């Protein structure tokens, strides 16, 4: 929904009056040139859910309590919100990019079969179905899951071609292109440039001094540093978890150590209060508006789209599940999914 309402979608949400919201057309929405499909994934983020439960969302901690409770008198009335949410069970979501790719491939199989008019492989007045050519765009962590999705789709097509997947009940989904916007693609390549960019950039914005820059670069390259631990992580993935399922405890432990070491280098920009994505603006950047968060949780909107759960921007269960597996924030998935 972030991409739909704040970035590339056909419309954005605006406050029409106090506590009242509507939409207006976005001039440069990508729908001007192509059909666009936005997917809430992994399961339990956005409007996606495993099972709908009544509960209370704590806006301070983002925890969801499974029994609705009244607001306490000593707390602001907006701090606790009763609603319907996903279960919050970590085992009921995808914990690696590989598993998320599998879930998305199966979703597209169902969606394009149920709505063939949106399948790029179908043509008017023709009974033949060509490969469904799609273009996948992702940002930020999409630099990791985008290549994983691309590799998985390619693998599934190869399996169809040799008969491991039945041709008559599946579609060939051909990835025409992969677009990555402000993505974390490979921490081994990008990692050293966090402190370099924070110290010297074309905007003339200096967030750290030279001593801090050099110390950060030393931390990246030293024994037991970010680079060393990423290499250990990827080696362990290759030998202990080549399928990318995130179920080898020792591999997960090594990769978690790498993440913890590398995030300290990434934080040279975050700690300054500037945006990861645009050093010129403060974090968080509130433009475009976040009004869609209120809009999507109005009763009228939820009735009109048939939503079964309240919209949530983030999911603690998904975040925790990814943290506990190897495929977190340091591009370890590239050990298997490089393209």
Domain boundaries, the chain: 2-51+86-274+289-337
For residues 82 and 12, what is the distance between their CA atoms, to the nearest angstrom? 26
Q: Which residue in this structure is represented by tokens 């943290």?
A: 323
For residues 231 and 225, what is the distance between their CA atoms, to the nearest angstrom? 10
- What would the pLDDT profile of 126-154 be if each residue is shown by its tens digit? 778 889 899 999 988 899 899 989 999 99
Q: Which residue in this structure is represented by tokens 């978690």?
A: 256
Backbone angles phi, psi at 280, to 5 degrees: -80, -15
Alpha helices (H) along 44-114: 97-114
* 144 within 8 A of 151, measured Cβ to Cβ: no
**Mean of the per-residue pLDDT values of the chain:** 86
- pLDDT above 90 (res 157): yes
**Among 58-62, 146-150, 203-207, the least confident range:** 58-62
Mean pLDDT of 200-225: 94
Mean pLDDT of 55-77: 71
- What would the pLDDT profile of 228-264 be if each residue is shown by its tens digit? 999 999 999 889 888 777 788 898 888 888 988 998 8
For residues 220 and 330, what is the distance between their CA atoms, to the nearest angstrom? 13
Give pLDDT, residue 21. Answer: 92
- What would the pLDDT profile of 310-328 be if each residue is shown by its tens digit? 998 888 888 888 877 754 4
Q: Is 109 left (phi over 0), alpha (psi -120 to 50) or beta?
A: alpha
CA distances from 298 to 6, 15, 238, 307 (A): 18, 13, 47, 11
pLDDT band at 329 (very low <50, low <70, confident <90, very high): very low
Backbone angles phi, psi at 152, to 5 degrees: -65, -45
For residues 85 and 64, what is the distance between their CA atoms, to the nearest angstrom? 8
Domain 2-51+86-274+289-337 listed as CATH 3.30.2130.10: no
- What would the pLDDT profile of 172-190 be if each residue is shown by its tens digit? 999 999 999 888 888 899 9
Q: Is 88 left (phi over 0), alpha (psi -120 to 50) or beta?
A: left
Which residue in 321, 339, 329, 334 sits closest to 100, CA to CA? 321
Q: Which residue has the higher pLDDT, 336 or 238?
A: 238
- What would the pLDDT profile of 8-59 be if each residue is shown by its tens digit? 999 999 988 888 899 999 888 999 988 999 999 899 999 999 999 998 888 7
Cβ density class 79-118: b for 16+ within 10 Å, e for less: ebbbbebbbbebebbbbbbbbbbbbbbeebbeebeeeeee
For residues 88 and 48, what is the distance between their CA atoms, to the nearest angstrom? 12
DSSP 282: B
Residues 6+ apart with CB under 8 A from 147: 178, 185, 333, 334, 337, 338, 339
Report helix angle 210-221 to 226-240, nearest 10: 30
What token pair was written down for 262?
Answer: 């590398």
75 by Cβ neighbours in 10 Å (0-12 / 13-18 / 19+) ranks as exposed
């Amino acid at each position: 929904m972030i991409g739909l309402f704040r970035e590339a979608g056909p419309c954005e949400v605006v406050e029409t009056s106090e506590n009242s919201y509507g939409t207006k057309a976005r001039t440069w929405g990508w729908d001007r040139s192509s059909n666009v499909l936005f997917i809430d994934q992994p399961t339990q983020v956005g409007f996606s859910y495993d099972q709908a439960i009544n509960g209370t969302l704590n806006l301070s901690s983002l925890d969801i309590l499974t029994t609705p409770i009244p607001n306490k008198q000593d707390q602001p009335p907006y701090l606790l919100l009763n609603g319907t949410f996903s279960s919050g069970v970590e085992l009921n979501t995808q914990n690696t990019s590989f598993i998320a790719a599998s879930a998305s491939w199966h979703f597209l199989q169902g969606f394009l079969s149920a709505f063939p008019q949106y399948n790029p492989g179908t043509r008017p007045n023709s009974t033949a179905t060509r490969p469904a050519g799609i273009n996948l765009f992702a940002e930020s962590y999409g630099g990791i899951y985008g290549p994983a999705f691309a590799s998985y789709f390619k693998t599934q097509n190869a399996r169809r071609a040799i008969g491991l997947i039945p041709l008559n009940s599946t579609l060939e989904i051909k990835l025409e292109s992969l677009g990555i916007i402000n993505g974390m693609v490979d921490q081994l390549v990008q990692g050293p440039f966090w402190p370099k960019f924070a110290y010297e950039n074309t905007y003339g914005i200096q967030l750290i001094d030279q001593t801090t820059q050099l110390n950060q670069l030393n931390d990246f390259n030293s024994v037991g540093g970010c680079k060393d631990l990423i290499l250990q992580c990827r080696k362990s993935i290759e030998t202990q978890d080549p399928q990318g399922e995130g179920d080898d405890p020792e591999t997960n432990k090594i990769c978690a150590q790498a993440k913890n070491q590398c995030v300290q280098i990434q934080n040279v920009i975050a700690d300054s209060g500037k945006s990861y994505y645009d050093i010129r603006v403060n974090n968080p950047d509130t433009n475009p508006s976040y009004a869609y968060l209120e809009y999507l949780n109005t009763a009228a909107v939820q009735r009109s789209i048939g939503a079964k759960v309240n919209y949530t921007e983030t999911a603690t269960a998904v975040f925790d599940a990814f943290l506990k597996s190897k495929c977190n924030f340091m591009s370890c998935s590239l050990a298997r999914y490089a393209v």
